[in-house]
Amino acid sequence: MAWLAWAIAGAATVQLAPSPVYVALIIGIAWLIVEVHAPDGPYRRAFPALLAVGVVFALIRVVISALTAHAGIDVLMTLPEVTVPRLLGGFTLGGTVEAGVVLQSLSEGFAIVGMMAVFGAFNAIASHYELVQSSPRAFHELGVITTVALAFVPSTIESVSAVREADRARTGGQSIKRGRILRSIVPVLERGMERAVALSESMDARGFGFAGSTRGDLAAGWCGLGALLALAAAFVALVGRARPAAIGLSVAGIALLVAATAFASGRTRDRKRYRHRRMAGIDWAMVACALTAPLLVGLLGFGGEDSLVWHTTPLHWPTFEPLVALALIPLLVPLTRLPSAARRTDIEMPEPELLPTAAPVAGS
């Protein structure tokens, strides 16, 4: 959970200080933390991929705004223009491409990459299952299913490369393009299906869903779904820079629904959890530290610090204020910590000597 707080703090800081200078610093911090803390595995390897996704989004954004936003100054080049019919919005596509607009959207796009870096770092470090364990009872089943589905992604990628190699093997090493999609997709899907069936059998045989759900669970489930939707709405409102009223409304909605969820699931019996990690003092310290970063940056913003946001008209280099960089230091705090106990790094240890008789396992 401490990592969740770190991720929220990081994301909030990116929002508060979207100037490329500071975003670059935050991406650096996220990268460093992944290098130090992330256990080796598919999620760690997914970190660069997530960054790449962020870059693609950012570039799309640059192209769209270069084509649609026009102010008429610092023109780079002029393209033929089309005005969309009024019914569809009536804006102009093409026309002048302006340096200010391009740089502005580039910097906004870079902020998206920054968000992806923070999210990617969180994804690489936090144990998804632990996160599910900490979620309210009502989300538990849904959460387990989601983590299982996530685990299928790397195995499917592996499967695709094996199938492609098998396809080349069939024709003695040469690859034949015709019909290759079908030849690849069918085995991948069928392998996935067989694996999914085996997994569902294994889960069933291990008592998944043994407890069944009560009416309280169901109520909590619906409230939780509502809260998730409200969260999505709030995110869209934030990214879209909607009016404060809309943001406030969705935040209020989230608060209300989360409270309802907690109330509904609080009335059902407690779910037993194995080695449920409670927040220790050091975790709270980490949360507090991480949250000071956006707080400090926010304070600087109120105090009239104008290097936080980079305005590209008139054209000038983004400015750097050492004070803001200092305010980002709390985000580095997790580096000083040892990896959490539940996520010790994978160290090869020698096979222990086995005792001839194991301790008797207690009957249930």
Partner 1 sequence: MSAISYAGVSFGYPDGPLALDDVNLEVPAGEILLVIGSSGSGKSTLLRAANGLVPHSTGGRFGGDVVAFGRSTRTHRPRELADVVGFVHQDPEAQFVVDRVEADVAFVLENLGLPEAAMRRRVEEVLDALGIAHLRDRNPATLSGGERQRCAIAGALAAAPDALVLDEPTSQLDPQGAEDVFAAVGRLNADLGTTVLLAEHRLERAAPLADRAVTLSGGRITTAPGPTGAVLADYPGAPSVTRLGRVLGWDPPPLTVRAGRTFAAAMDRHPEPSADAPDPATRGEVMLRAQGIGVALDRRPVLHEIDVEIHRGEVVALLGRNGAGKSTLLRILGGLLASDAGRIDPRPTTAYVPQDPNTLLFASTVRAEVTETLRLLGRHDDGAVNRWLEALGLEDLADHHPRSLSGGQRQRVAIAAVAVGGAELLLLDEPTRGMDAASRHALERAIAQHAREGGAVVLATHDVELAARCATRAIVLGDGEMVASGPAASVLAGSLFAPQVLRVLPPFLTVEAVAAAMERT
Q: Which residues contact 236 (CB under 8 A, 6 or more apart)?
A: 242
For residue 9, the minimal CB distance to partner 1 (Å) is: 25
Name the 3-class secondary structure at 312.
coil
Using CB under 8 A as the criterion, what x/- string covers residues 88-127 for binding partner 1? ---------------------------------------x
Residue 208 as a binder of partner 1 (CB under 8 A): the answer is: yes
Residue 364 as a binder of partner 1 (CB under 8 A): the answer is: yes
Given 86, 87, 206, 302, the residue binding partner 1 (CB under 8 A): 206
Residue 214 as a binder of partner 1 (CB under 8 A): the answer is: no
Cβ neighbours, 10 Å, residue 218 = 13
Using CB under 8 A as the criterion, what x/- string covers residues 30-59 for binding partner 1? ---------xxxx-----------------
Cβ–Cβ under 8 Å, residues 21 and 114: no
Using CB under 8 A as the criterion, what x/- string covers residues 309-328 for binding partner 1? --------------------
Residue 154 as a binder of partner 1 (CB under 8 A): the answer is: yes
Could you tell me the two tokens for 292?
């000071």
Cβ–Cβ under 8 Å, residues 117 and 28: no
DSSP state of 350: P
Residue 301 as a binder of partner 1 (CB under 8 A): the answer is: no
Cβ–Cβ under 8 Å, residues 334 and 286: yes
Measured distance CA(110)–CA(19) in Å, rounded? 9
For residue 206, the minimal CB distance to partner 1 (Å) is: 4
Please tell me the count of residues contacting partner 1 according to CB under 8 A.
75
For residue 358, the minimal CB distance to partner 1 (Å) is: 4
Given 83, 201, 267, 279, the residue binding partner 1 (CB under 8 A): 201
Given 195, 216, 249, 283, the residue binding partner 1 (CB under 8 A): 195
Given 76, 78, 79, 194, the residue binding partner 1 (CB under 8 A): 194
- Of 151 and 325, the one with the shorter C-beta distance to partner 1 is 151
The number of angstroms, rounded, from the C-alpha of 262 to the middle of its chain's C-alpha atoms is 24
- Of 274 and 317, the one with the shorter C-beta distance to partner 1 is 274
Closest by Cα among 187, 9, 258, 214 to 114: 9
Backbone angles phi, psi at 252, to 5 degrees: -60, -40
Cβ neighbours, 10 Å, residue 273 = 12
| Cα distance between the two ends of the chain | 32
Measured distance CA(67)–CA(292) in Å, rounded? 39
- Of 128 and 311, the one with the shorter C-beta distance to partner 1 is 128
For residue 144, the minimal CB distance to partner 1 (Å) is: 7
Residue ranges in 259-288 that form contacts with partner 1 under rule CB under 8 A:
271-276
Using CB under 8 A as the criterion, what x/- string covers residues 163-192 for binding partner 1? x-xxxxxxxxx--x-xx--xx--xx--xx-
For residue 138, the minimal CB distance to partner 1 (Å) is: 16
Q: Which residues contact 268 (CB under 8 A, 6 or more apart)?
A: 137, 214, 216, 217, 220
Could you tell me the two tokens for 30?
């996220």
State the angle between helix axes of 99-125 and 20-37 in degrees (0 to 180), rounded to the nearest 10.
20
For residue 152, the minimal CB distance to partner 1 (Å) is: 10
SS (H, E, C) 223-256: HHHHHHHHHHHHHHHHHCCCCHHHHHHHHHHHHH
Could you tell me the two tokens for 38?
């992330």
Please choose, out of 209-217, 245-253, 292-300, 320-328, the segment that lies near partner 1 by the rule CB under 8 A. 209-217
Residue 243 as a binder of partner 1 (CB under 8 A): the answer is: no
